[in-house]
Amino acid sequence: MLRLLSTIRKELLILLRDRGGLAIMFLMPMAMITIMALIQDAPFKDYQEMKIPLLLVNNDTGSLGKSIEKGLIDSKIFEINKESIADDVVKQKVKAGDFEIGIIIPKNATTQLNKNVDLFVTKKLAAAGLGDSALSETATTEALNLSILFAPDTKKSFKISILNSLKQSTSKIETQTLLAFFSKELNKDSEQINKDEPLAEFVNFNEVTTIETPAEALQLNSVQHNVPAWTIFGIFFIVISMAGSIIKERDDGSFLRIRTMPGSFMTVLAGKITAYLFITIIQALLMLLVGMYLLPLLGLPKLIIGNSLLGIAIIIICTGLAATGFGVMVGTIFKTHQQSSTFGAVSVVILAALGGIWVPVYVMPESVRILSEFSPLYWSLSGFHKLFLNQGTVISILPYAGNSIFFAARLLPFYQKYSYLPLFILRRIKLTYLKKLKLQIK
């Protein structure tokens, strides 16, 4: 116990006196959380609550123009700016990015629609022997064109969804008009059906909510994503300090001196890990406090941490263990501090990107999502999301915590035996990945 406590004390003293290291461990993630939460606030709102700026030029004075305008307002996804300007100006404004979408409803659009529908009905009735066949043979319909303009950087999927939505809206108007004209032709003597009367809805889609409590209504916003994400990233950046410490001890002969001392070497390793783990816990708590108390002062939403404090503690400790295990591996297989710090930083950034730290995993392509599942940062982030967004319990995060512990357990023995283990572990990771890939293909 004396050896363990003494090693913990020694490591903590060294860490606390390394001002540069402390800045990397505490200030960098704090800055990252604040900056990224502010930067990503708008994109997250884009997906969930921000309205799309739309420029509407309604040159039609009839019911069609009014119906389209009403449909756009009712959708509640557009911030509509109605102007009476020339088509070229609309194009310029959308191209310049002032508006995401521009819609131009041509003059006399209602008249043209009515004319087209009237002719269509007349033709159909004539074909059935109920009308003027001579008229139906000579007259032709002229297509009614509504102009939709998109900003140059608009995504294809977004364009498709908007076009579909507009088509759905106009087809409803077309159907209403069509029915009205058919009724008029068939019941010339009876009471005329009002073509503005709304159509009966035969099939409805009712969204059934799975949310039962107000906390469950919490959506993934910039703070809920960035605070746990960059906390994990910060924790994993301890890899650089830890690997550096191992390499330094090896270079200056301290490692050799320790190995000549009696007692289990695992005690020394446990002391080192405990000290670094302690730092990661402090780091994580500080970052969560930033999310809860600092970010709201900057106009961002407050971090909601769910109900399971034990779950949070477990995820933080498991993340710290995975990070320290990774640090041990990096410090063991690399010979110089330069090599280890470069590899440590780059590998953590790659694992962070794969793990959904930069952007959520659900926006990644399928092939990348498979790789994500191998990132220890993904396990931790998924655990935090379970707790923070889904009001998860300890049981719900156990798979993620288990992965992290397994990861750490496989890497820690590097400290003692570092000649063949790296290859062994890499081979195992490769085999696991291939096995998983085969299952995905099946």
Partner 1 sequence: MNSNAAIEVSNLIKIYKNAASPAVNDISLTINKGAIYGLLGPNGAGKTTTISMLCGLLKPSSGSGYVQGFNLNNQLEEIKKSIGVVPQEIALYPTLTAYENLQYIGNMYGLKGADLKQKIAEHLKIVGLDNVSNKRIETFSGGMKRRINLIAGILHTPKILFLDEPTVGVDVQSRNMITEHLHVLNKQGMTIVYTSHLMEEAENLCSDIAIIDTGKIITQGKPKELIQQHNCSNLEQLFLQLTGKKLRD
Question: Does residue 10 bind partner 1 (CB under 8 A)?
Answer: yes
In Å, how far from its chain's centre is CA 201? 35
Residue span binding partner 1 (CB under 8 A) among the ranges 149-157, 253-261, 346-354, 392-400: 253-261
Residue span binding partner 1 (CB under 8 A) among the ranges 12-20, 71-79, 95-103, 279-287: 12-20
Question: Does residue 251 bind partner 1 (CB under 8 A)?
Answer: yes
Q: Which is nearer to partner 1, 10 or 184 (CB)?
A: 10
Distances (CA, A) of 165 to 162, 200, 388: 5, 19, 34
Question: Does residue 20 bind partner 1 (CB under 8 A)?
Answer: no
Select the residue interacting with partner 1 from 70, 259, 430, 435 (CB under 8 A).
Answer: 259
Whose structure tokens read 């041509």? 106
The nearest distance, CB 225 to partner 1, in angstroms, is 37
Alpha carbon distance 341, 347 (integer Å): 10
The nearest distance, CB 327 to partner 1, in angstroms, is 18
Residue span binding partner 1 (CB under 8 A) among the ranges 11-19, 23-31, 34-42, 204-212: 11-19
Looking at residue 80, its amino acid is I
The nearest distance, CB 254 to partner 1, in angstroms, is 5
Select the residue interacting with partner 1 from 97, 263, 296, 402 (CB under 8 A).
Answer: 263
Q: In what order do the strands lie in the sheet with 78-82?
A: 78-82, 52-58, 101-105, 147-150
The nearest distance, CB 30 to partner 1, in angstroms, is 24
Looking at residue 333, its amino acid is I
Question: Does residue 159 bind partner 1 (CB under 8 A)?
Answer: no
List the structure tokens of 68: 């389209």
Question: Does residue 9 bind partner 1 (CB under 8 A)?
Answer: yes
The CA-based dihedral angle spanning residues 425, 431, 435, 438, taken in that order and rounded to the nearest 10 degrees:
140
Select the residue interacting with partner 1 from 20, 129, 198, 262 (CB under 8 A).
Answer: 262
DSSP string of 374-437, one letter each residue:
T-HHHHHHHHHHHHHTS---HHHHHHHHHHHHHHHHHHGGGGT--SSHHHHHHHHHHHHHHHHH
Looking at residue 259, its amino acid is R
Question: Does residue 369 bind partner 1 (CB under 8 A)?
Answer: no
Select the residue interacting with partner 1 from 59, 141, 192, 254 (CB under 8 A).
Answer: 254
CA-based nearest residue to 151, from 160, 141, 159:
159
- The residue ranges that bind partner 1 (CB under 8 A) are 2-3, 5-7, 9-10, 13-14, 17-18, 251-254, 256-263, 268
